[in-house]
Amino acid sequence: MKYLALSIAALLLFLLACAPAAQPAQPVPAPAVPPTITPTPEPQPGPTPIETKPVPTVSKELQDLLSRADQKLKSYKYLELILPDKKQPDTISVKGTKIKIGLYEYDPYIPDEYMDTVYLDTAAQTIVGRCVSRKRCVWPQGDNTKELYTDLDYNQYRRKTPYEWLKTIPATATITGPEVHENRATTKVEYDDAGKHYMFWIDDNYGIPVEFWIVPSSGETVKYKFNDLQFNSVTDADVTLPQ
């Protein structure tokens, strides 16, 4: 019996020795942590940039030229042509708010309906026509020299004078040089406005335009000509309706 117990014990020891050793427990891997992504900040709108425009240069020489008429001009007289539409000149006299227009003598004409002179008052916006020239206003059968034509259209005869055109020139216009124009010493002034180019020839002494052109981007150039300018010789009686 003793021998049998020893044999069983030896067998058990043999089996334990041959049994594979228990493997150590493998560590459980930690769950993967996603990388931290730092969001790119959205660009914040800044202040809207303000477009700076160049400040137009105001010429002292031009300022002096444009103010010359205010200092020296009291009255004036001229022949007005507007090309290409008005090729027959009217004779215009201006003093203060009074304007006298000597109308171009067209032929033929109807004597008993004829008038040759228009008197305007720009302050009151009134107009009266008269027949002044006895050569045309008096004929064997009649005399128009005492007739008053009061049913005339003021706006038909009221046109800007050279002085009024002068006042449309901006202070930022450009002087492009002295020129002898129509035998007068003038200063040429140019500028652009509303798609049109303007060119003025201004008398150096009295500061009044002797001519100016309006040049559109397309189409025909309009030329205003003020010929035979006479300064400071028009009297009140010259522009007043005769009694």
Measure the CA–CA gap between 209 and 225, rounded to whole angstroms.
9
**Which run of H or of E encompasses 202?**
strand 196-203
Q: Residues 44-87: pLDDT tens digits?
A: 666 666 666 555 567 899 999 999 999 999 999 999 999 999 99
The closest alpha carbon to 111, from 140, 90, 151, 88, belongs to 140
Per-residue pLDDT at 242: 87
Measure the CA–CA gap between 239 and 186, rounded to whole angstroms.
28
Measure the CA–CA gap between 183 and 16, rounded to whole angstroms.
139
Per-residue pLDDT at 47: 67
Q: Phi first, then psi: what are they for 14, rounded to 5°? A: -65, -40
Per-residue pLDDT at 43: 63
* pLDDT higher than threshold 60 for residue 22: no
Mean pLDDT of the 162-166 span: 98
Cross-strand partners of 81 = 225
First CA to last CA distance, the chain: 177
* Confidence class for position 243, pLDDT limits 50, 70, 90: confident
Cβ-proximal residues to 159 (8 Å cutoff; 6+ apart), any chain: 80
* Confidence class for position 21, pLDDT limits 50, 70, 90: low
For 60-239, CATH gives 2.50.20.10
Measure the CA–CA gap between 226 and 184, rounded to whole angstroms.
12
Per-residue pLDDT at 59: 87
- Three-state SS at 163: helix
- Residues 195/217, Cβ–Cβ less than 8 Å: yes
List, in sequence order, the alpha helices (H) in the chain: 2-18, 60-66, 68-72, 134-137, 154-157, 162-166
* Confidence class for position 18, pLDDT limits 50, 70, 90: low
Q: Phi first, then psi: what are they for 108, rounded to 5°? A: -75, 175
**pTM: predicted TM-score of the whole model, two decimal places:** 0.75
Max CA pair span of the chain: 188
List, in sequence order, the alpha helices (H) in 88-166: 134-137, 154-157, 162-166
Measure the CA–CA gap between 243 and 241, rounded to whole angstroms.
6
Q: Cα separations (Å) of 222 from 84, 117, 173, 176? A: 7, 26, 19, 20
- Reported residue count of the chain is 243
